[in-house]
Each structure stands twice: as C-alpha cells, then as structure tokens.
Structure 1
Amino acid sequence: MGKIKTYVEFILLYNFRSTISTRREHQTTIPKWSPSPARSVLVNVDAASFAQTKRIGIGVVIRNHLGLVLAASRRFVDYVDNLELGEAIAMRHALTFGEETGFQQIIVASHCASLVSKVKSGKKGRSQIGAIVFNIKRRAPKFMSCNFAHVSRPCNEAAHVVAKSAEHDVGSCWFNVSPDFIRDIAGTEQISE
C-alpha cells in the first residue's frame, strides 16, 4: 500500500504542477527527491581527494525507487591527483559494482557535470580521462538500461560521505543495509530532478 501511495504522490507532484509563477528575490530552490522508475535503481557515485596520502576515495550508494539503500561500496585508489579522473574511476567502479550485484536497470548519478557530459557525448575523448570514459561507455550496454544523470552536490551527499570514509579502506561493501555512518543522510537526502 505504501508503494502505491508514493507512486500516486509522485504522479500528482509532477503531472499537476501549478503553472502560476511567483517570483521572490530571496527565494531559494531546494532540490527535491525524485525517485528512479520502479524497476530501476539509482546509483549515486562520488570521489574524494586525500592530499597527504595521494589517494582518492570512491563511494557508491545504490537505492531503489523508495530511496532505500540496497547496496553501498567504498575503496581507495592510489596516486590519483586529478579529481575529475577520480570521479571517472568512481563511475567505472559504480558500473562494475552494479553489474556484480545483479542490477539490470540503473541510473548513474554524479555531481561532476563535466564527466556526465563526456559520458553522454558521442565524441571520443582525448583528455586524460578519455580511456576511462570509453570504458564506461563500453560497460553501459551490459545493462538492460543504463542512463547517466547530473545531480547537485547536496543530492549526492551519501555517496560523498562514503567516499570520504574510504581513505584507508581497500574495499568494503554493504548489501540491503545502509552503512551506519550514512544512515541518517540516506534517510533524509533529497535527490534532484
């Protein structure tokens, strides 16, 4: 019954929006949680840089259309000093992790707009991350459906916290439970449209 109520609220929210615009000079827009379609999962991904150890941490959080954490993963990678390269490595890891956990319909969400743009582009990249972007594009068709989305930083907070916790972790995974250190964030985080 809860799933039906959530779906109806979603339909009402997005199909019957008011067309009247009210403008306020100090009005701020708060990103709204937008669920993935019922059969898809949302794969939030992020990378964090650690200058002293010359590592990046990778964080992946996979949630269903209700926002429940189905899986999470973290690990570090040595000798990466370019954060966009770290974000690309994290996205590639997210696809590998999603495939290994058996998800078939995924939406990969990152706050790194330049990376999402490169992955969605039909062009071959000649940048430092071109080979990794090429690898991401080659992995995507292994899924029944695989889409990429840009989200704002506040909408990617759980993956960011997981990445920040990975500096000394060679690899940890959680299944059907939210890691303790993101439980509150994952429960209240809002994902943008």
Structure 2
Amino acid sequence: MTWSPPPRTLFKINVDGVVAKANKKAGVGVIVRDDLGRVEAALCRNLNAPLGPIEIESKAIEARLLFAQDIGIQDIVVESDSLIMAQVLNGTLALPSAVLAVVQGIMDLSKGFHRVEFSHVKRHGNRPAHLLAKRALGIVDFIAWIEKMPCFLEQALIHDVTF
C-alpha cells in the first residue's frame, strides 16, 4: 500500500496524529500534494494535551482543513489512516461523543471549500504524515513548509509515490 494521487485538479492532504502518553503530548502531521505527488505544503503541530487516539485523529483532520484554508487550496481529498474518522465524516458511522464538537467544526469548515472528499488509507500508505506527526512531539508549537519538503521526509516521499 503506497500513496495514490488524487483526481486531477484536486490536492490530497494526508494527515496523522500521534500520542505520547509518557509526556501527555500529541502531535499532528499534515502533508499536501498535487496529482503528480509534488509536495505543496507540510505542517507539524504540537498539541500540548493528553488526547486519546480518536481525539487526536479528529484534531488532525481539523488542523489539515485549517492549513488548507490558510494556503488557499479549495479542492481537496482529505486522507487519514483512521477508518473510524473517515466513516464518521462520510456519514456511514455514528459519531463518537468524544469528538462531537471537533467533528461539527470539521463539517462547518468543509463548507468553506469548493470540493472536499474524505477517504481512508492504511497506515503504510500514510508514512510521511506519520513522520511529521512524530516530529511534532519535539517542537513547541508548529512548523510549516510551503512549496518545499522537509529534508527528513525525502526518503519516505520517494518510496511513497509509485505511479
């Protein structure tokens, strides 16, 4: 399982969240790529809060929508390795009460885009976003890269795009 491109004219935004229970931190990683696999933007964000897995995945999706808004992307495929969140956002699974407010925020944010699709990818197909999320645990707030890729992601990105 590797990254697959979005339909032409759309951007794919992969996201992942990680939880470090030992120090009660959570990290979010976001990577935006075009239909050729080129990195348009990337983000690491530290969430200095003790969140559980479903909560961090929902916050990660919210962060990616906000990031897409900030960089002016209007047509997106939002891809996560959380099957539960993909099903919730596509309306095929009941909403867990733990993420009710965040999911409502995600749905409200989605209205500000021309086109938003939510999809699921297995963890192996989401490696660069996972690496960004892990990197976020070691920073204070956030780091963003626009129209370039972080050097620590180069190998993962080369192995990720296989079309």
The answer for the alignment partner of 1:171 in structure 2 is: 142
1:154 is paired with a residue whose SS is: helix
Q: Does 1:84 align with 2:50?
A: no
CA shift for structure 1 position 183:
1.2
Deviation at 1:190, TM superposition (A): 4.4
Stretches (4+) displaced over 6 A? none
Q: Which moved more, 1:123-132 or 1:147-156?
A: 123-132
Measured against aligned partners, the alpha-carbon deviations of 1:32-75 in whole angstroms (never above 9, x if no partner) come to: 54211221100000001112220100000000001011000011
Structure 2 equivalent of residue 110 of structure 1: 80
2:147 is equivalent to residue 180 of structure 1: no
Percent of residue pairs identical = 28
Residue aligned with 2:26, SS: strand
Aligned to 1:147: 117
Alpha-carbon distance in 1 for matches of 2:110, 2:34: 19
Q: Secondary structure at the match of 1:118?
A: helix
Deviations, residues 78-109 of structure 1 (Å, cap 9, x unaligned): 22231110010010000000011000100000
**Among 115, 120, 127, the residue aligned to 2:97:** 127
Counterparts of 2:150 and 2:2, CA distance in 1: 23
Q: Whole-Å Cα distance in 2 between the matches of residues 76 and 145 of structure 1?
A: 28
Alignment match, 1:161:
131
Contact 1:124-1:134 at 8 Å conserved across structures = no
SS at match of 1:173: strand
Distance change >3 Å, CA 83–CA 123, structure 1 → 2: closer
Alpha-carbon separation, structure 2, partners of 1:102 and 1:70: 11
Cα RMSD, aligned residues only: 1.6
Q: Which has the larger radius of gyration?
A: 1
CA–CA separation in structure 2 for the residues paired with 1:131 and 1:106: 22
1:149 partner SS? strand
Q: Which has the higher contact order (CA 8 A, sep 6+)?
A: 2
Cα pair 2:84 2:93 within 8 Å, conserved: no
CA contact (8 A) 1:155 1:190 kept: no
Distance 1:166 1:32, change over 3 A: closer
| Residues paired across the two proteins, number | 161
Once the two structures are TM-superposed, the CA of residue 186 in structure 1 deviates from its matched residue by 1.3
Q: Distance in 2 between matches of 1:54 and 1:38?
A: 40
TM-score (norm 2): 0.93
